[in-house]
Amino acid sequence: MALDSKTPTGPIAEKWTHYKDHINLVNPANKRNLDIIIVGTGLAGGSAAATLAELGYNVKAFCFQDSPRRAHSIAAQGGINAAKNYQGDGDSTFRLFYDTVKGGDYRAREANVHRLAEVSTNIIDQCVAQGVPFAREYGGLLDNRSFGGTLVSRTFYAKGQTGQQLLLGAYSAMNRQIGRGKIKMHNRHEMLDLVIVDGKARGIIARDMVSGKIERHSAHAVVIASGGYGNVFFLSTNAMGSNVTAAWKIHKRGAFFANPCYTQIHPTCIPVSGDHQAKLTLMSESLRNDGRIWVPAKLEDAKMIREGKLKPTQLAEEDRDYYLERRYPAFGNLVPRDIASRAAKERCDAGFGVNKTGEAVYLDFAAAIERYGIDQARLKHLDENDKQLVIKLGTEIVANKYGNLFQMYEKIVDEDPYSTPMMIYPAVHYTMGGTWVDYNLQTTIPGCFSIGESNFSDHGANRLGASALMQGLADGYFVLPYTIGDYLAPDIKMGKIPTDSTEFEAAEKNVVDQINRLMNNGGSKPADYFHKKLGKIMWDKVGMSRNEKGLKDAQQEIAQIREDFYKEVKIPGTSDSFNPELAKAMRVADFLELGELFAKDALHRNESCGGHFREEYQTTDGEAQRDDENFAYVAAWEYKGNPSDAVLHKEPLSFENVKLVQRSYK
Amino acid sequence: MKLALKIWRQNDASSKGKMVDYTVEKIEPDMSFLEMLDILNDELIVKGEDTVAFDHDCREGICGMCSLFINGEAHGPDRLVTTCQLHMRKFKDGDTIYIEPFRAKGFPVIKDLVVDRSAFDRIQQSGGFISVNTSGNTIDANTIPIPKHDADKAFDAATCIGCGACVATCKNSSAMLFVSAKVSQFSLLPQGKVEAKERVLNMVNQMDAEGFGNCTNTGACEVECPKGISLENIARMNREYLKSSII
């Protein structure tokens, strides 16, 4: 099957407008005859549900949490990009497009990224109209900050809780439609299979997680907005419930899975403290605006610090190695995430790590506190040479900007980050790969769409900070509502899709069989036991840096764990009741398949690009070495039974508006 | 650390619950409270017993999914944290810890420590929004300047995570801190003023219909709120309500 991206022709800046002018529309009276299922209620799913319901479609939305407001978009801290150019610093739609394609290491589809940049400004307008309380300046206008990989300030934010505020905006828009009866919300439900009738997605099988009841739901189209699969690593900044299940189930039904190996390892997370750990916590990238990253310059100092004999504040300036500022003078601490993460690993692997495990670097605010303090002292006509006063004034400013993040850090680590540098280390955070979609955000299954983090399309091999929120809302508010209408236009006279067909019956049986197999296998180990084993292999061999041997081993080891899992897993309780362990085991089963495909994809990509770093392919100074001649394509995998049998399809990427160069932030 | 746990077990909404004793050992101070419960659950599975059900998701204090009444306090003994951010360093070796669900008429128990908080969703559905459709044609975001002070106050109110600690803590099971946070956010912003009257009336009506009690100003909700939502919001909501009722 040849992949057709269905990218419109014409100049890049006119594609989306031209497309919108020529698609089929569904008239308002007919929209009420069409049903749409949306799985997931984060920024993408929530905004899509609200908008499609406003347009008049009947929406059935599903989430596994107890309320749509709790989707993990809520945890995004730093901000959302938009090419508003409110700061007059030279930003434009083209620049946002360019930065995103370059930041993604030239592995994204140009037309999608340009559309994203185009609609970015509408997102900010829409959210403000909804009452999202973005940060403002004293003049009452919106404030911006700068993020990694860019040279302009285009990031809008609400303290360190931007994702929360944007999600609550989408949630409020959903609530309005739930109240009107246009969205039927199914909380505490998990999608467990996709139903295809006559070649088109026409429904899902879902489990009511309270009663355990298996339910059939039909619709004229199905939208997957279930987020990313970072939890394949067990430890990640994703929520405990974040899973690949919905995306994996459609993959098994025919949707190609693209670039699974493109994973973002975020440079600023709180380091792992022990084996008991269930999840990792992110410290927003916005902290790199003001924090300086360093390790001791001398190995003996690093050793003393690890043993608790030396404090970081005792180290003189010349004994510190601000390695990002040293290696990348142009971007300094604001290099993109993949680069900052690898640089931290490189220093720690070389023995300069600063916590007990040797896997941590410092993020230091002392210089920022002093700088802000002096500013304030001057502003208030106070003595700028009074060190204590300067620190007090500077601390107030830093607290105002990042207070909730500092508080979060202190609660977890039990150290005061105002007086001693934070310790950070990279952790799995976001997955750029996902279900393959065309320009319409449609998967390779007609009528099955994928939006937000669950698709692959906009971030290439590395996502820039503050772009995930932008993409989720762009897809849901401004892109899908057009493209899905074009798809649904021929279906207006179809009427309700019956759920008593053989296709629904077969899909339901598939789900019930899997549940019974897991419940009745008589094992003795918790699902987490296998999940942790999988996570360790993923982190050690398919993590920040990868090599051929490790990837080959990983594939075999994961296949073995999967076999053991089905023999030895133990699920307590019953399947017809509230059973969190059953839900967990079903997710782990899917991660055990995805993990192997992930390693297979990483092994086949004989180059380094963005978040995918193969040790065999690096420049002499240790930077990622792309191979544009052989690998400038999207790797879309077709399911064939076992992950090892997956068949590769290639979507060639052509760059007509951005010149491919070695990415440099020096 | 070795700890004695007394945990509320209840099969479903219709059955009777009771406190059950458990012991956990080798608990480290750096563990989070929920990681301690993970360890207990893994042990229960190996023993062939049913696990203790509790709600949780983000485990970084922002999704509002986790709950728990720990030693008589919503989200436990620490301040300005959710249960998932509570760490075992707040306890001592040999302690006995009582773990119960959030109890209120409006929050029926689903299983063990898991409660149904969908009443909160229904209150939001009754008016917790601004009626603007998504079109991409709204006015430019900077057309209406908003004083920083108002924007900051609206933000502070908007940080409510909807966990329900306020209800669980209040002797009247009042949801007024939760409802007032949303009412305040919108009443402080020019965008929210258009529907201010209907909003406060509808949300308060729904709050009453869900069986939540009224506010008698004990201030316990503000103390236990993991996000530090101020009691001032309740005063603002009362003002809005009164204004909307008489004009």
The pLDDT tens digits for B60-86 are 999 999 999 999 999 999 999 999 999
Is B78 part of a structural domain of the chain?
Answer: yes
Q: According to the model, what pLDDT value does residue A662 have? A: 83
Confidence band for B187, pLDDT divided at 50, 70 and 90: very high
Task: Choose the closest CB to B138 out of A72, A129, A158.
Answer: A129
Is B106 part of a structural domain of the chain?
Answer: yes
Is B125 part of a structural domain of the chain?
Answer: yes
* CA nearest to A70 within chain B: B63
- The closest alpha carbon to A341, from A545, A176, A481, A524, belongs to A545
Averaged confidence pLDDT in chain A = 96
Q: According to the model, what pLDDT value does residue A404 have? A: 82
Confidence band for B135, pLDDT divided at 50, 70 and 90: confident
Task: Choose the closest CB to B58 out of A172, A239, A580.
Answer: A239
Provide, as residue numbers in chain B, all residues whose Cβ is less than 8 Å from the Cβ of A157: none
Q: Pick from A57, A70, A283 the residue to mutate for testing the B interface (most B CBs within 10 Å).
A: A70
Residues B100, B146, single domain; the answer is: no
Is B26 part of a structural domain of the chain?
Answer: yes
Rounded CA gap, A184 and B70, in Å? Answer: 35
Q: Over pLDDT 70: what percentage of chain A?
A: 100
pLDDT of A171 above 90: yes
Residues B100, B220, single domain; the answer is: no
In whole angstroms, what separates CA A353 from the centre of its chain?
27
Q: How many residues does chain B have?
A: 247
The answer to whether B37 and B129 are in contact (CB under 8 A) is no
pLDDT of B240 above 80: yes
* CA nearest to B60 within chain A: A281
Q: According to the model, what pLDDT value does residue A400 have? A: 87
Task: Choose the closest CB to A161 out of B117, B135, B159.
Answer: B159
Q: What is the pLDDT of residues A77-121, one digit of tens each?
A: 889 999 999 999 999 999 999 999 999 999 999 999 999 999 999
Residues B79, B182, single domain; the answer is: no
Q: Which residues of A530-566 are buried (b: 16+ CB within 10 A; e: fewer)?
A: bbbbbbebbbebbbbbbbeebbeebbebbbebbebbe
Q: What is the pLDDT of residues A623-655, one digit of tens each?
A: 899 999 999 999 999 999 999 999 999 999 999
Residues B179, B219, single domain; the answer is: yes
pLDDT of B247 above 80: no
Residues B157, B95, single domain; the answer is: no
Rounded CA gap, A657 and B11, in Å? Answer: 61
Concatenated DSSP letters of B184-210: HHHHTSHHHHTTHHHHHHHHHHHHHHT
Provide, as residue numbers in chain B, all residues whose Cβ is less than 8 Å from the Cβ of A477: 134, 136
Q: According to the model, what pLDDT value does residue A621 have? A: 86
Is B161 part of a structural domain of the chain?
Answer: yes
Residues B75, B102, single domain; the answer is: yes
Q: What is the pLDDT of residues A496-527, one digit of tens each?
A: 999 999 999 999 999 999 999 999 988 999 99
Residues B30, B98, single domain; the answer is: yes
Q: Where are the alpha helices (DSSP H) in A308-351?
A: 323-327, 337-347
Answer whether B121 sits within 8 Å of A581, measured CB to CB. Answer: no
Confidence band for A403, pLDDT divided at 50, 70 and 90: confident
Confidence band for A198, pLDDT divided at 50, 70 and 90: very high
Is B242 part of a structural domain of the chain?
Answer: yes
Residue B124, domain CATH: 1.10.1060.10
Q: Which residues contact A416 (CB under 8 A, 6 or more apart)?
A: A410
Residues B188, B89, single domain; the answer is: no
Confidence band for A663, pLDDT divided at 50, 70 and 90: confident
Residue B23, domain CATH: 3.10.20.30
Residues B65, B84, single domain; the answer is: yes
- Structural domain including B213 reads 117-132+142-246
Confidence band for A401, pLDDT divided at 50, 70 and 90: confident
User: What ipTM goes with this model?
Assistant: 0.98
Cα of A122 to nearest chain B Cα, Å = 5
Q: According to the model, what pLDDT value does residue A480 have? A: 98
Is B81 part of a structural domain of the chain?
Answer: yes
Which domains occur in chain A, in start order?
12-264+429-491 (3.50.50.60), 281-426 (no CATH), 500-628 (1.20.58.100)
Q: According to the model, what pLDDT value does residue A522 have? A: 84
In whole angstroms, what separates CA A170 from the centre of its chain?
18
Please pick, among A70, A306, A337, A562, the residue that the annotation labels catalytic.
A337
Residues B234, B162, single domain; the answer is: yes
Is B12 part of a structural domain of the chain?
Answer: yes
Number of domains composing chain B:
2
Provide, as residue numbers in chain B, all residues whose Cβ is less than 8 Å from the Cβ of A277: 35
The whole-model pTM stands at 0.97
Q: What is the pLDDT of residues A279-313, one digit of tens each?
A: 999 998 889 989 999 999 999 999 999 999 999 99
Per the annotation, the verdict on A154 as an active-site residue is no
Residues B121, B241, single domain; the answer is: yes
Answer whether A239 sits within 8 Å of B63, measured CB to CB. Answer: yes
Answer whether A178 sits within 8 Å of B125, measured CB to CB. Answer: yes
Rounded CA gap, B55 and A505, in Å? Answer: 32
Provide, as residue numbers in chain B, all residues whose Cβ is less than 8 Å from the Cβ of A572: 44-45, 48-51
Provide, as residue numbers in chain A, all residues whose Cβ is less than 8 Å from the Cβ of B120: 67
Residues B99, B183, single domain; the answer is: no
